[in-house]
Amino acid sequence: MTRTAWRATRLISLCLSVLLLVFLLGPVRQALSQPVSSPGTVFYLHTSYWGTSFPRRIMSTDPPYGIQRWTYASEIISFSLYPSLGRTVKIGGTVSFQLWLRASTPTIGIVNATLVEATGEGKTMHVCGIEAPVLIESALREQPLSFSVGPIVRTISAESTLVLHVVVKDAKVPVFLHWDDNRAPSRMTIPFVERYYHVISLTVRDFSNREMKDANVTISQSKSKVWTGRTNGGGLAEAILPSTEDTSQYDILVYWKNVIVNDTRNINLTADTQLILKCQVYDLAVVVQDIFGMPLSEAKVELSTEGKVIGSDKTRPDGILSFDQTPRGNYTLTFAYGTFEQIRKDIAVSGSTRYLARLQILPLWFYYGATALVAVALGSGVLLSRRHRKLQRISFDFLNDMLGGQRARAPMAVAVMIIGTPGSGKSVLMQKIMHDQLARGGKCVFVTNNDFPRKIVEDMKQLGLDVSGFEGESLAFIDCYSGTAGRPSTERYGIQVLTDLTNLGTQISSAANALGEETTFFLDSLAPLFTSLKPDPILTFIHTIGARIKGQGGNLYFSVGTGLDKDVLSRLEGLSDCIIELETLEKKGTPAKRLRIKKIRGRRHPEKWMEFSIGAPHGIVFYGDRQQLK
C-alpha cells in the first residue's frame, strides 16, 4: 500500500469515528442544553373523593392528608395527576420516586415505578421508569426507598395527563404500598423545564385584621375542587398549583365554623402570588342579666344555626360571654341556668354586636336563700337516711340479672352493642364477660382491632382475669392488629389489612366451625373500621356476621364509641338485640364509672345506672345501696 493510500484510509477512519461520536453524544448534548428547573415539583400520592362519589387515587401537590392508606403492591397501583396539565409542558432533568413499602415479613422484591403519558385518545406512552431489587422490611422505615432516573427530556401534550404505576414483583410474601400519611408520604418529583407550578400564599383575616387559625380553604377550577387545606396559627395557607396560563382561573372559598365567610373568584396564577382574604366574621358579646337586671354568672349560653352548635360556654362573673369571629348570619341563642327551663332567642349577626338578654329567672343565690330553711329542716332527715344507704359491693352476676338471664349463663343468640365514652371501661367489660363465660365452660372468640392478642391476655391477667389456660381449646383470637402494626401474627386466625372485611368474615366462619355451636364472639372495637371505611359496608358486615353467629346459637358482642354520627349509631342500635351503655362522671371531684342496660329486644328490663370500678382481682365490681338490691 502506498503512503498516499494509507493516509486516505486513516482519514476515512477518523471521519467515521467523529461521526459516530457525534451520533452518540447528540442526545446527551441535547439533554444538557435544556434549562432544567431545580429541585423540581413534588407530587404526593393521595386517595381522594374530589369530583367523584367514589375514591380514586391521584397525585397532586397537596401535602399528605394525614390518613394512613395502603394496599397490596403485587398488582399495579395507578395514581393520576390531578388537576390535569391543561397545557403543553416539557420535562427536563432527573425524575425521582420516594416510596414507603412494607412486607408481612422481610423479603426481597423487584420494585417497578413507571411514569406514563395518558393521551386524550386513551393511549399510554412510556416517559420514564425504574426497576430494581430491594429489601423490604416488615415495619415502615423512617426513610423511603428512593430511586432516580435521568436526565429525562420529554414534551407532554396539553390533552394528556401523567400517570404513575407502581408494582412489586417476585416477592415471596404480601407487600404493601403506604401513602397519604405524614409518616409515609409516598411521592415523586418531576423537573419541568419551565416554571409551571406556582405558590399561592393566602393570609386569612377578619375585618379587625386578626388572623384566623384553622380556617378551611378550598380552591376550585371550573367548579372542580383542586386543593383544600387549613390555615396555620398565623392564618396562613400555601398551595402549589399549576399556572392558569391557557387554562381556567381559580376560585377560592374560605369556610369558618362550616359557613362560607369569603368567596374570591377569577384568580390568575402565572407567578408566585400572595393574597389577603378578609372574611365576614364578627364578634358577638352576649350580656346575660337576671330578673333584677343584675349580671348572671355561670349561665350556659349556646349559639347555633340550622340545628348545628357553633359555640357553647358559661358567662363570666360580669354576666358576659363573647363569641369571637362569628360568621355573618341568623342564629339561635339558648340560655340555661341551674334547673330553670331553657330559654331561646333568635338573633341576626351582620356586624360586631352586643346583645343584652334579661331572663325572667331568679339567680341561684336568691333561690338558695329562699330554700335554705327547708334545706336545713330536711338535712337531718337526709343524713339519717344516708346512714342506711351505704354502698355495698355487688357480684358481677348482677349484670346477668339486669339482662334478665340466669346466673349460670348469659342469654344466648343475641347481638350486644357496648357503647361508651373513651376510658369508660368497654374493653374491660368485654374481657370480664368473656372470662366468666370461659370459666363456666363456654367457648369464645376475641377479635382484636386495638392491641396485640398477647398484650390483651397479659393485661387481663393483671386484673385477675387469667384466660391463658383456655387458649387452643375453648378460646381463640382473631388478630386484626399485628398486620396494621407491621408485625407477623402468632395466632391461628388473623388478617393483614384491618379493612379487609371479606377476609375477616372468612376467619370468623373458620373459628366458628372449629369451636362449634353456641360460641360467643367479641369484637373490640369498631372504631378503627369507621376511621378507614364508610359506614354502609361496616353495618352490612355486622348484620351479616351477627345473623350467622346467632344462627349457630352464639352471641356477638361489639364495642363502639359515642363520637359516631347519630344516624350511624341509630342504625347500629337497630341491629342490636341488647345495648349496654357506659359512661364516666365526676362524683364529689373523684372520677367514677357507671353502667346501665339501655335496650333488650322484646323484654322488660331495669334502666337504672349502676356504678362500678375496675381493678384486680375481680376485673369489675359493681356498687349499689340496699334500695337497688331490692
Whether pLDDT at 4 is above 60: no
Q: Name the class of domain 281-364.
A: mainly beta
Q: State mean pLDDT over 16-26.
A: 47
Q: Is 461 helix (H, G, I), strand (E, B) or coil?
A: helix
pLDDT of residue 624: 72
Contact (Cβ atoms closer than 8 angstroms) between residue 484 and residue 450:
no
Q: Are 127 and 162 in contact (CB under 8 A)?
A: yes
Neighbours of 395 (CB within 10 A): 12
Out of 232-241, 264-273, 613-622, pick the least confident: 613-622
Give SS3 for 487.
coil
| pLDDT number for residue 475 | 94
Over residues 565-607, the pLDDT tens digits come to 888 999 999 899 899 999 988 877 788 899 988 888 877 777 7
Instruction: Give the CATH number of domain 197-279; options: 3.20.20.220, 2.60.40.10, 2.40.50.100, 3.40.50.300.
Output: 2.60.40.10
Query: What residue ranges do the domains of the chain occupy?
Result: 41-190, 197-279, 281-364, 392-629
Number of helices (H) and strands (E) in the chain: give both, helices first.
11, 36
Give the pLDDT confidence score for residue 33 in this predicted structure.
Answer: 38
Is CATH 2.60.120.260 the right assignment for the domain spanning 41-190? yes
Span 125-145, mean pLDDT?
A: 93
Give tens-digit pLDDT for 48-81: 866 555 678 999 988 887 788 899 999 999 999 9
Q: How far is CA 261 from CA 201, 253, 300, 382, 408, in A?
A: 18, 8, 27, 56, 62
pLDDT at 35: 44
Judging by DSSP bridges, how do beta strands 187-190 and 41-48 pair with one another? antiparallel
Name the CA dihedral angle for 432, 435, 436, 442, rounded to a multiple of 10 degrees.
140
Express each pLDDT in 146-188 by its tens digit.
999 989 999 999 889 999 999 999 999 999 999 998 889 999 9
Collapsing DSSP to helix, strand or coil, 345 comes out as strand
The answer, yes or no, to whether residue 285 has pLDDT greater than 90, is: yes
Backbone phi, psi, residue 461, to 5°: -65, -35
Average pLDDT over the chain reads: 84
Q: Which one is the CATH code of 392-629: 3.30.870.10, 3.90.1150.10, 3.60.150.10, 3.40.50.300?
A: 3.40.50.300
Q: Is residue 232 over pLDDT 80? A: yes
- Report, in angstroms and rounded to the nearest whole number, the Rg of the chain calculated over CA atoms: 33
Do the first three CATH levels of 197-279 and 281-364 match, i.e. the same topology?
Answer: yes
Reported as a pLDDT band with limits 50, 70 and 90, residue 101 is: very high
- Measured from the Cβ of residue 544, the count of other Cβ atoms closer than 10 Å reads 13
Q: How far apart are CA 400 and CA 422, in angstroms?
A: 24
Buried b vs exposed e over 81-111: b needs ≥16 C-beta within 10 Å? bbbbbbbebbbbbbbbbbbbbbbbeebebeb
Contact 493, 514 (CB under 8 A): no
Percentage of the residues of the chain whose pLDDT score is greater than 90: 46
Which alpha helices (H) appear in 516-565, and where do they start and end?
527-532, 535-551
